[in-house]
Amino acid sequence: MTDDALSSLGLPPIDQVGFVVKDLDETQKRYGALFGPWTHLDGSVSGATYRGRTADVKLAILFGHSGELEIEFIEWQGGESPHREFIEQGREGMHHLRYRVDDTDAWIATLATLGYEPIWYKQFSEDIVFAYLERKGDPLLLELLQMP
């Protein structure tokens, strides 16, 4: 698949770049001048569907910005999620790109035509849904967020 195929789908602009890091305090010191001021958040998620089963995860999150683009740093602290896989593979750095969409499930079906499969999914309410999607051979995940 080429980048042209993905861009031709009509996804909205990327609104967030997500990084997985080992230490949020160190990250904040290192990148504070670039992306601050910061917002800290407990990003833990319970009862998400992760690779076909229900799983909980404990995450600490640090949000910054570069212009309108949100920069998210995530520290995995326990449980099961794509962030755990990333850290356990010895990786640290860029992890996903986020798109804000009106209908997560419809976009999951559309992206399936390009080989993307949902690996982490949670519907919090009728209006709030997120999903992380992966495709074979591509280390970068896509996140879809439906939230008014």
Domain of 102: which CATH number?
Answer: 3.10.180.10
Task: Give tens-digit pLDDT for 128-146.
Answer: 999 999 999 999 999 999 9
The closest of 55, 67, 51 to 119, measured between CA atoms, is 51
Number of domains in the chain: 1
Question: 41 is in which domain, residue-wise?
Answer: 3-146
Amino acid at 8: S
Task: Give tens-digit pLDDT for 82-112.
Answer: 999 999 999 999 999 999 999 999 999 999 9
CB atoms under 10 Å from CB of 10, counted, come to 7
The whole model's pTM is what?
Answer: 0.94
Compute the distance between CA of residue 18 and CA of residue 45 in angstroms, rounded to an integer: 16
Task: Name every residue whose Cβ is closer than 8 Å to that of residue 75 and which is 6 or more positions away in sequence.
Answer: 20, 21, 22, 23, 24, 27, 59, 60, 61, 62
Counting every residue written for the chain, the total comes to 148
Per the DSSP assignment, residues forming a β-bridge with 133 are 118, 142
